[in-house]
Amino acid sequence: MNQHISPSGSSRAPEPLTIPVEGMHCASCVRRVETGAAKLAGVISSAVNFATKKLTVETGEGFDPDALDKAIRKLGYEIPAGAMDHALREAGMVVSGASNADVSDQQDRRGSSISPTRGESRGRAPHPAHNSGDHDHASHPTHDHAHMHHGEEASLKRDLAIAFILTLPLFVLEMAGHAYAPFHHWLMGVIDTQNLYYLYFVLATAVIFWPGLRFFRIGLPALLRGAPEMNSLVAVGVAAAYGYSVVTTFAPGLLPEAARYVYYEAATVIVTLILFGRLMEARATGRTGAAIEKLAGLQAKTARIERNGREIDVPTAEVVPGDTVIIRPGERIPVDGTVIDGQSNIDESMISGEPIPVSKTMGATVIGGTINTTGTLRFTATKVGRDTMLAGIIRMVEQAQGAKLPIQTLVDRVTAWFVPAVIALAIVTFAVWYIVGPEPKLTHALISAVAVLIIACPCAMGLAVPVSIVVGGGRAAELGVLFRKGAALQGLADVSTVVVDKTGTVTKGRPELTDFITAEGFDETETLALVAAVEARSEHPIADAIVRSAEARGLAVAKAEEFESATGYGIRAKVGTREVAVGADRYMEKLGLPVDIFADAASRLGDEGKTPLYAAIDGKLAAIIAVADPLKASSVEAIRALKSIGIEVVMVTGDNRRTADAIARQVGIDKVVAEVLPEGKVEAIHELRGHDRKLAFVGDGINDAPALAEADIGIAIGTGTDVAIESADVVLVGGELSGMVSAIAVSRATMANIRQNLFWAFGYNVALIPVAAGVLYPVFGITLSPMIGAGAMALSSVFVLGNALRLKTFRAEETR
């Protein structure tokens, strides 16, 4: 049955689908799932993150979720029931028809609609459409995946306990005799060898076909399909040791007398150790996604809103745009909105990384998931469900974590042939030792071949890159940095030049009253109130900045009468009985008021790139005023920090040269490109990039979008326009340039972590596979037990996971 997939009601293009896939146990599994998905019609690209066990596909015209589900199952893996529908809703798609399995127990709270097809629907009812609740914690895919993950961990814990309890007596009975001869003699006096073998057989069979059955159930079908993976290696190795022992126990006549040994303890210890490694992996990878689970848990469960003249508490999922929401001290804000009355301080550290609460008054924006600390606020809900900033952050982090870094391509190429090569090497090893090995040749050949199979499991290689991406990306989100595209996490580490826009990036992007100096005999408060009263009649941005400043000081702005505007000069009006005029120096001179008394102040303001205005009251010069776009508080320190880690910083702006140079001097930028149009910013990037340099551009406006797209890494200020954010690879959520320092630091730390992981993973295999094959035996008489191989394999994965988890505590200051 064909299905039609299209974006839900909005004009937004579908986002990539991120779907959990069960049954993947090594890098070979990852490769198969990626390749199988990529072959399907309507799939533009596919990538699997082995650390999170999730498949991310970018879809196009003709995509059929049923076809994807069937392809995954055909390969021997499973998409959990309901997961496809979750993914489709998360991606903002409308599905005509059914996909995946029946999920009637899961209500759609995703803001998209799923409608029945005109043809057959396989008896599945469509989900009702809601307009919010995208990240209701109870239904978020990350939360569901966490439940699945905990279920897997519980299953592994149970199987490991069973395997350990059954293996322990077998191991003690067999190995203690080798280590302590008197114990062997005592045991032989209590039970004869054949009966002891029967006991071993019972214990080993229980281990292998109960907790160990998982390896055969997955590994053997994969081997028969000609696509062996880690479970195949374990299954073949364990089956060889167990099968040889069974022959020795029940048909010893088939073997030469010198080769009649049993290896039940090796087979069971291998199963037990690999289950232990899997459990450690599951626990560690469960912790890697903690950042997203933490973000998902920030969604308030209820909201207090005003409806029909009364206050009621409703689930957050039922809040709609336009609702008036009431927030009291200590409560978490449920959705994004705009304050309509009240004053409070909001803890926004979850999105900015900054611990100091931000003051909010009428007109300010509040963000869902942040915490109201002091006063009571009323605000209008503007964004709900999947449109909130918190929902967007979670989606961006998940997508970046599911991305494929360029360095992963190398690992993929190696692992594509690794498992088949290991099986071939095990066969060669067996053949060589069977022909030229010491007596008993068959035993020696078997042990060496099994050791090769067990020690070569490529878990560590498969985990080396994705686990670092997950932890590094999550840590970046906690620091207020969102990697929208996974490749940026790698690319940013190599950036040598950072180009910054001025307005809204280095500066606040909104004019403010920066200087107000009164002449002798005039009171500053009274003068500002009179000037604001006149400016309130003007629609100029400078006038708005003066009025806002007066209101912020709590001044009453009176109504001005007889307002007059002199184009190019200034404005004048009557405020009560006072005559007030505001304008440029030429306006004051026109009114016969020389501005010489403010000469020094005017010179200083000019050096700072500010154009001074003057105010006159009742025919006397009263004040010099400067309105400018002030620096963000963190800009100076951010530029200094970037330069301290070897980054060249260049400012590119459309503003005039004088203002640009003044701002550059204040923040410590040495190179400035001024008075350029948006196309000029792109040209500047071409010129600055050179041949071998990687360049990042940081901007916030619509006019920055071309430059953000052109740069090697485009970085958007999170408080900027949606167009800029959509054009960027990285988003600095807090809106401060200091986030750039954290972004580069996290990127460099993550790439260093990946290199360490790969060195360990590849080094381990390169060093130990030849030892397992027996290269040291002719000279030193050293062979590697399959049991030791299983332990070393498990430890290699745990080491890689532990190393990646160090990124959870990373701090940007560590790179300076």
Q: Counting Cβ atoms within 10 Å, is residue 19 exposed (0-12), middle (13-18) or buried (19+)?
A: buried
Token pair 């003057």 in the structure block, residue: 614
SS3 annotation, 696-752: EEEECCHHHHHHHHHCCEEEEECCCCHHHHHHCCEEECCCCCHHHHHHHHHHHHHHH
DSSP state of 504: I
Instruction: Give the Cα separation of 712 and 242 in Å (integer).
Output: 55
What H or E segment, with its residue span, contains residue 580? strand 578-583
Instruction: Give the Cα separation of 356 and 295 in Å (integer).
Output: 19
Please name the amino acid found at residue 291.
A
Answer left, alpha or beta for residue 97, where phi above 0 means left and psi between -120 and 50 means alpha: left
What H or E segment, with its residue span, contains residue 17? strand 17-20
Q: What sign for the dihedral angle of Cα 811, 812, 815, 816?
A: negative
- Provide the total of helices (H) and of strands (E) in the chain, helices listed first: 29, 28
- Choosing from 501, 585, 712, 729, the catalytic residue is 501
As given in the structure block, the two tokens for residue 772 are 């397992």
Instruction: Give the Cα separation of 727 and 482 in Å (integer).
Output: 13
ω into residue 438 within 30 of 0, thus cis? no
Max CA-CA distance within the chain? 124
Output the CA torsion 172→173→179→180 (10° steps). 120
Percent of residues in the chain assigned helix, strand, coil, to nearest 5: 55, 20, 30
The residues near 354 (Cβ < 8 Å, ≥ 6 apart) are 348, 480, 734, 736
The residues near 785 (Cβ < 8 Å, ≥ 6 apart) are 266, 447, 451
Residue 659: C-alpha distances to residues 102, 177, 607, 648, 653 (Å):
63, 86, 8, 21, 10
Q: Judge whether 85 and 106 are in contact, CB under 8 Å.
A: yes
For this structure, is 108 an active site residue?
no
Which of the residues are catalytic? 501
